[in-house]
């Protein structure tokens, strides 16, 4: 098969037929890291480095792994020098999804079919300049045009005024991007800058936050504000779902001590975070939002990188020894039947645990798509094969791009849809289910499933 | 391939040939939850709900996951209303083995080829009524006829008099169902009702159980009684194999304190259970029985379900963070070479650990088939692929149905045999072993392997 | 496909083409347990038992699993009796790589195409006697001839004088075998015989080791000595990478107490080993050696075997509950960018953790091949599929034989290269990357990759 051709990732005839039924459906993407300033401003991209690599730590990590110096990645080299460095190492990245995503981006969005490599670097750079100058490739036009976005959900701080979301809605004439409420900064009581953040959060609503009850009140105001602006879900990042919670009086006391600048113990921090998560989950349950839990990422473990560049630049891993179960059971039992929940994990080792948990708690608790370092053709395939046979494909929460750049809304969904079609095609060709019903499931997973569950 | 056709689950020509050699062999099923009253009474089934769903929590969990209300599952709706509710959601269950099992049951046992769905519900219901009235579909006739059972092993409490086993043996003229001795209730020292159970266990043998030694003596009497009634194995359910044991004096003291109604600590409970398991394992070793260990199930985690319906109704999960090794090593070293052991686990994450343990302890320690939420085509395939290359397929303990309904003795074994044939066919077609020897292994796994190891 | 024919393990046309490009490349094997006395002495092998089984605990474990008595394995039966016992049970081992390796050895090295079984045992035994008498099958001739070894690295104690390495270099006229420095015995402060070993280590360099500083000084002398004799890597076996280290003063104190015969606590032992590993890693960083870490093996768990036969005879397992992360992060952060590191693990459960760690720490940290009980066609396939998509195939450290017998340098590398070709062929045939680039990666993994990284 030729690279990225029409049967890319699809190895059976039934899968090819199923893919044709879902290939053109609009994208519903319940979780990503859309840059709302960029979309609202709607300026043309300057060059391919800016669009494809400048914000994407997946690309950065591959470059580092191939020995490219940091100055050509996040440093002060010119965008063109960086792009040529990327092109040079790209042939070494075969087998990694970054290789596929970047070439999908070039082909599907811009019709640039050359392979990224040293020889083609300059040529592709110039072709990119020409393409990006076209109005059809301005952010809003791409999203509503060739990327075929139905609705996508950004990830936002409770402080955010969501002005850009409103601007985009006006500009494109429909709800294209919904916000997602992510109060991690308020939860991370031990993080540097937490106290200043709490001050800012209060100021946003014209208040001073003195007590934990003040915090919850402000968060409820923010939650309502987000709801008025079209938000349908919250999102929470935890290494391991906290298994301990504190009694209300203790939670209040821990909050006060942290506000006073005291250092809390690991156990106190975890207990506070456990209580906090249950309290914000209550807000979601009341508003019929989806509570999204991203668990398992051990972040910023490479000290040299973190000290130089800060968070969200690479250096993140998973850990097979994590115990998700007690924390999840506490949350899910407390809100059983009342809280729509989506569980994401980074480590395939947690997949059996999460699949059985999702099965046990009925239709409101669903598995999210394979996340981050697991979001690859082989990762998605193994996840879909396994969870369908333990939980149900019918209630799979669907693909999310988790993307930090525009083109990923296209390439990641194409990779997912092809993998889904191939897995379902295999099921049919092994005689395990009728093709017609599997096609229905595929269409649902790509459309009505997430649309209805997330109220998009 | 058409749904469930003759090549169902088999993707290579060698696999098709291997399957033809094992398809018709009698079933040897060393572990299930046969309802002995039902088999002994030998009454016709009233309807398909009773036969296919009323006792099967796999079906219930799928219905819950699809949003069916509990009244249509375990509640007071009529069997027909429940069956129609099941038919209605069935198309949403494609990809889950329940979809395959139910259709295998209808096709292989009753020649009903229609797909379960809203439109066909009434028609299938009526066809079922007609089929179930036929004497060939009464329990004993089905087991010895179309289900082709060689020997199957039920799971029984040490209190049981095994009258139904004797009745069935008389009625069918041979040993069809052997009992299995499962003393979990005596081990679970912390469970509600434990003290009353110990009283009942003593009364069964006309004794009063005052000390731990009394308990062991009664258990030995029960063990002998089961042996006289054809039992060849014990079975034990543990979340994690206990790694601690108590010295005899402490075990006796813990038992006394629990009999006096005292509450033991988690550590005391675990130490008691560790000692208990070693003591009953000694009885198995003396009797040349097989010690079956089912580890890894975290049961009844969904509180709302457990509080309403009790145990064994759903809400069971696995947990990647469990540590099986210390407890297993203690047991296996103590009885090395003297105790036939079969290890089952729910979580594929434990598979490498268990496969290496089975390999390390020689021919008496064997891996059991993929259990419960892992007992699926993909689960069995991955298990067989992996364990064969670490341990030996030749000493795989073989398929067990773990079934709570009659037809599963057929459908689950068909699914297993087809998967086995496909995996072995792949091994042959990759040039890794000669077809003839792989065929021998398949025949052995389906017959002499379990027959000889379990003395069936 | 016929057993072990030209397409053995390769299921797609692209894979066949890729394999043809790597099949004949010289073998670079960065880790094995070569018997240097045997290679230096260069005596003909007496018989096939000596060559294929007498030193190979993989074979022993399979024999035990099939019920062969220990006298026919490690006991005092004649080599011929043992070989016939092995032949007798071999048909039961299909599905296990031992079946493939032994037949590859017979076919590829000696043109003996018969299947090992009772009927053929005598015939193969005699054919082996004839073959082994030929000079082309003497150790040095085999290694440089039909086994096509470029460079291979043995595993050696810091005490070793490496005379045999020098002899082999002289005899074959080039560097065929490089030593690897493995100071495990000095690290295992709690092991029986540790104190005597430390005395011996000092005596080797004409010193008395009184303090931890003395130990480090002697180790540095040994490290230099190995470097002068062509060593390019160290190797370290740990159950779990130690997460704690002791301050220098405490390390020194722990060492003194152990030298005085005191018993240290588990925590003290672990802290000592943690400090020790960091100190020897510093020596590797200074010398630009590769630090190889073999983690996850729980050794000698079958007491009956260990008490009778000692270590390295079987009875080794893995454990899903191990936590590798803290210890690895400590090591990798401390030497970030300065220490070439290869991570091996026994348990596929650790694969996602290790793959993300290797990705996070850039080009100096690499994943080693699937180790020991995981070193099978299915194990290598799953590893390559997964790690390529998280980390990079380009920086995969490459195959190592980990072998304890001569022929394994051939059969294990053939199994790996075929699996690699098949996995890469699949990637190409799914349209995920161009065949030409995948071929480049394959050639690199089999040659320049390990050659350059290990400085071979």
Nearest CA in chain B to C64: B362
Both structure tokens of C295:
């983690």
Q: How many Å separate Cα C216 from the centre of its chain?
A: 26
The alpha-carbon gap from A426 to the nearest alpha carbon of chain B, in Å, equals 10
The alpha-carbon gap from A397 to the nearest alpha carbon of chain B, in Å, equals 13
Place of tokens 């809605």: A169
Q: What is the pLDDT of residue A246?
A: 86
CB contact (8 A) between residue C424 and residue A9? no
CB contact (8 A) between residue C94 and residue B393? yes
C123 in A contact zone (CB under 8 Å): no
Q: For residue B333, give the nearest of C100, C302, C319 by CB distance.
A: C302
Quickly count: other Cβ atoms within 10 Å of residue B435's Cβ: 21
Residue A11 with chain C: CB contacts under 8 Å? 429-430
Choose, out of C10, C69, C95, C301, the residue to mutate when testing the contact with B (most B CBs < 10 Å): C95
Helix (H, G, I), strand (E, B) or coil at A244: coil
Q: Identify whether the C-beta of residue A431 lies closer than 8 Å to the C-beta of residue A448.
A: no
CB contact (8 A) between residue B394 and residue C93? yes
Task: Using CB atoms, list chains with 3+ pairs below 8 Å to chain C.
Answer: A, B
CB contact (8 A) between residue B93 and residue A394? yes
What is the pLDDT of chain B when averaged over all its residues? 97
Helix (H, G, I), strand (E, B) or coil at B151: strand
Helix axes A194-204, A212-228, angle to 10 degrees: 60
- Give the mean pLDDT of B235-249: 92
The alpha-carbon gap from C210 to the nearest alpha carbon of chain B, in Å, equals 37
pLDDT tens sequence for chain C (456 residues): 799 999 999 999 999 999 999 999 999 999 999 999 999 999 999 999 999 999 999 999 999 999 999 999 999 999 999 999 999 999 999 999 999 999 999 999 999 999 999 999 999 999 999 999 999 999 999 999 999 999 999 999 999 999 999 999 999 999 999 999 999 999 999 999 999 999 999 999 999 999 999 999 999 999 999 999 999 999 999 999 999 888 899 999 999 999 999 999 999 999 999 999 999 999 999 999 999 999 999 999 999 999 999 999 999 999 999 999 999 999 999 999 999 999 999 999 999 999 999 999 999 999 999 999 999 999 999 999 999 999 999 999 999 999 999 999 999 999 999 999 999 999 999 999 999 999 999 999 999 999 999 999
Q: Identify whether the C-beta of residue C70 lies closer than 8 Å to the C-beta of residue C44.
A: no
CB contact (8 A) between residue C427 and residue A7? no
pLDDT of B323 above 90: yes
B64 in A contact zone (CB under 8 Å): yes
Choose, out of B431, B434, B443, the residue to mutate when testing the contact with C (most C CBs < 10 Å): B431
Q: What is the pLDDT of residue C246?
A: 86
Chain C (298-337) residues lying within 8 Å, Cβ to Cβ, of chain B: 298, 301-304, 314-321
- Cα torsion for B155, B161, B164, B166, to the nearest 10°? 110
CB contact (8 A) between residue A1 and residue C434? no
Q: How many Å separate Cα A309 from the centre of its chain?
A: 21
Q: What is the pLDDT of residue A49?
A: 98
* Strands B290-295, B233-238: pairing kind: parallel
pLDDT of B33 above 80: yes
Q: What is the pLDDT of residue A447?
A: 96
**Burial of A205 from C-beta contacts in 10 A (0-12 / 13-18 / 19+):** middle
Dihedral (CA of A173, A176, A181, A184) sign: negative
CB contact (8 A) between residue B319 and residue A353? yes
Q: For residue B97, give the nearest of A389, A430, A441 by CB distance.
A: A389
Helix (H, G, I), strand (E, B) or coil at A151: strand
Q: What is the pLDDT of residue B245?
A: 86
Residue B320 with chain C: CB contacts under 8 Å? 320
Distance CA A327, CA A334 (A): 11
C360 in A contact zone (CB under 8 Å): yes
Q: Identify whether the C-beta of residue C265 lies closer than 8 Å to the C-beta of residue C286.
A: no
Distance CA C63, CA C70 (A): 9
Count of positions (residues) in chain B: 456
- Bridge partners of residue B237, in order along the sequence: B294
Q: Which residues contact C224 (CB under 8 A, 6 or more apart)?
A: none
Q: What is the pLDDT of residue C26?
A: 98
Q: What is the pLDDT of residue C59?
A: 98
- Cα torsion for A83, A84, A89, A90, to the nearest 10°? 60
The one-character DSSP state at B43 is P
Distance CA A393, CA A424 (A): 10
C122 in A contact zone (CB under 8 Å): no
Q: Identify whether the C-beta of residue A16 lies closer than 8 Å to the C-beta of residue A436.
A: no
Q: Provide the whole-model pTM.
A: 0.98
B349 in C contact zone (CB under 8 Å): yes
Query: For C100-127, how does the pLDDT look when each residue is reduced to its tens digit (9 = 90+)?
Result: 999 999 999 999 999 999 999 999 999 9
Helix (H, G, I), strand (E, B) or coil at B28: strand
pLDDT tens sequence for chain A (456 residues): 799 999 999 999 999 999 999 999 999 999 999 999 999 999 999 999 999 999 999 999 999 999 999 999 999 999 999 999 999 999 999 999 999 999 999 999 999 999 999 999 999 999 999 999 999 999 999 999 999 999 999 999 999 999 999 999 999 999 999 999 999 999 999 999 999 999 999 999 999 999 999 999 999 999 999 999 999 999 999 999 999 888 899 999 999 999 999 999 999 999 999 999 999 999 999 999 999 999 999 999 999 999 999 999 999 999 999 999 999 999 999 999 999 999 999 999 999 999 999 999 999 999 999 999 999 999 999 999 999 999 999 999 999 999 999 999 999 999 999 999 999 999 999 999 999 999 999 999 999 999 999 999
- Measured CA to CA in angstroms, residue C135 lies from C55, C138, C279 at distances of 22, 5, 46
Residue A320 with chain B: CB contacts under 8 Å? 320
Query: For C316-368, how does the pLDDT look when each residue is reduced to its tens digit (9 = 90+)?
Result: 999 999 999 999 999 999 999 999 999 999 999 999 999 999 999 999 999 99
Both structure tokens of A450:
């997430």
Distance CA C367, CA C387 (A): 8
The alpha-carbon gap from C159 to the nearest alpha carbon of chain A, in Å, equals 36
Distance CA B377, CA B362 (A): 28
Query: For B83-107, how does the pLDDT look when each residue is reduced to its tens digit (9 = 90+)?
Result: 999 999 999 999 999 999 999 999 9
Nearest to A22 by CA among A295, A415, A343, A375: A415
- Bridge partners of residue A233, in order along the sequence: A290
Q: Identify whether the C-beta of residue A31 lies closer than 8 Å to the C-beta of residue A155.
A: yes
Query: For B415-434, how does the pLDDT look when each residue is reduced to its tens digit (9 = 90+)?
Result: 999 999 999 999 999 999 99
Place of tokens 């802290």: C271
Q: Identify whether the C-beta of residue A112 lies closer than 8 Å to the C-beta of residue C405.
A: no
Q: What is the pLDDT of residue B225?
A: 98
Both structure tokens of A325:
């179960």
Place of tokens 């987000």: A226
Distance CA C126, CA B19 (A): 38
Both structure tokens of C190:
């709690």
CB pairs under 8 A between A and C: 147
CB contact (8 A) between residue C317 and residue B385? no
Distance CA A328, CA A346 (A): 16
Nearest CA in chain C to B429: C1
CB contact (8 A) between residue B8 and residue A430? yes
CB contact (8 A) between residue C433 and residue A99? yes
**ipTM rounded to 2 decimals:** 0.97
A338 in B contact zone (CB under 8 Å): no
Query: For B174-220, how does the pLDDT look when each residue is reduced to its tens digit (9 = 90+)?
Result: 999 999 999 999 999 999 999 999 999 999 999 999 999 999 999 99
Helix (H, G, I), strand (E, B) or coil at B183: coil
Over chain C, what HEC string results? CCCCCCCCCCCCHHHHHHHHHHCCCCEEECCCCCCHHHHHHCCCCCCHHHHHCCCCHHHHHHHHHCCCCHHHCCCCCCHHHHHHHHHHHHHHHCCCHHHHHHHHHHHHHHCCCCCCCCCCHHHHHHHHHHHHCCHHHCHHHHHHCCCCEEEEECCECCCCCCHHHHHHHHHHCCCCEECCECCHHHHCCCCCCHHHHHHHHHHHCCCCCCCHHHHHHHHHHHHHHHHHCCCCEEEEEECCCCCCCCCHHHHHHHHHHHHCCCCCCHHHHHHHHHHHHHHHHHHHHHHCCEEEEEECCECCCCHHHHHHHCCCCCCCECCCCCCCHHHHHHHHHHCCCCCEEEEEECCHHHHHHHHHHHHHCHHHEEECCCCHHHCCHHHHHHHHHHHHHHCCHHHCCCCCCCCCCCCHHHHHHHHHHHHHHHHHHHHHHCCCCCHHHHHHHHHHHHCHHHHHHCCC
Residue A385 with chain B: CB contacts under 8 Å? 378
- Bridge partners of residue C233, in order along the sequence: C290
Distance CA B113, CA B127 (A): 11
Both structure tokens of A307:
């000290």
CB contact (8 A) between residue A347 and residue C349? no
């Amino acid at each position: 098969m030729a690279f990225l051709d029409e049967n890319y990732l699809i190895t059976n005839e039934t899968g090819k037929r199923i893919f044709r039924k879902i290939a053109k459906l609009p994208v519903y993407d319940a979780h990503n890291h859309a840059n709302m300033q960029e979309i609202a401003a709607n300026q043309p991209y300057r060059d391919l480095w800016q669009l494809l690599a400048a914000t994407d730590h997946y690309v950065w990590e591959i470059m580092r792994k191939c020995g490219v110096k940091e100055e050509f990645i996040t440093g002060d080299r010119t965008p063109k020098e960086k792009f040529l460095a990327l092109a040079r190492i790209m042939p070494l990245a075969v087998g990694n999804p970054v290789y596929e995503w970047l070439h999908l981006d070039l082909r599907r969005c811009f019709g640039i079919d050359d392979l990224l490599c040293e020889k083609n670097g300059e040529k592709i750079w110039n072709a990119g300049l020409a393409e990006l100058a076209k109005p059809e490739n301005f952010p809003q036009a791409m999203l509503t045009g060739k990327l075929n976005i139905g609705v996508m959900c950004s990830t936002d701080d409770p402080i955010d005024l969501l002005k850009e979301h409103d601007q985009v809605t006006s500009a494109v004439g429909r709800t294209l991007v919904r916000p997602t409420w992510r109060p991690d900064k308020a939860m991370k009581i031990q993080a540097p800058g937490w106290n200043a953040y709490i001050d800012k959060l209060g100021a946003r609503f014209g208040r001073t936050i003195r007590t934990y009850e003040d915090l919850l009140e402000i968060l409820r105001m923010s939650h309502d504000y987000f709801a008025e602006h079209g938000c349908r879900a919250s999102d929470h990042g935890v290494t391991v779902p906290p298994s301990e919670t504190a009694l209300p009086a203790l939670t209040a006391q821990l909050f006060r001590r942290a506000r006073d600048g005291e250092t809390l113990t690991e156990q106190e921090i975890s207990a506070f975070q456990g209580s906090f998560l249950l309290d914000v989950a209550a807000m979601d349950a009341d508003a019929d939002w989806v509570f999204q839990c991203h668990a398992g990422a051990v972040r910023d473990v490479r000290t040299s990188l973190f000290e130089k560049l800060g968070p969200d630049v690479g250096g993140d891993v998973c850990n097979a020894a994590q115990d998700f179960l007690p924390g999840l059971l506490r949350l899910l039992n407390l809100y059983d039947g009342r809280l729509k929940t989506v569980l994401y994990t980074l480590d395939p080792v947690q997949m059996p645990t999460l699949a059985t948990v999702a099965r046990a708690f009925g239709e409101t608790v669903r598995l999210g798509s394979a996340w981050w370092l697991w979001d690859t053709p082989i990762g998605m395939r193994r996840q879909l094969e396994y969870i369908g046979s333990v939980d149900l494909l019918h209630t799979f929460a669907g693909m999310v791009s988790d993307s930090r750049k525009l083109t990923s809304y296209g390439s990641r969904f194409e990779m997912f849809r092809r993998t889904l079609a191939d897995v379902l095609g295999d099921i049919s060709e092994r005689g395990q289910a009728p093709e017609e019903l599997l096609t229905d499931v595929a269409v649902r997973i790509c459309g009505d499933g997430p649309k209805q569950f997330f109220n998009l």
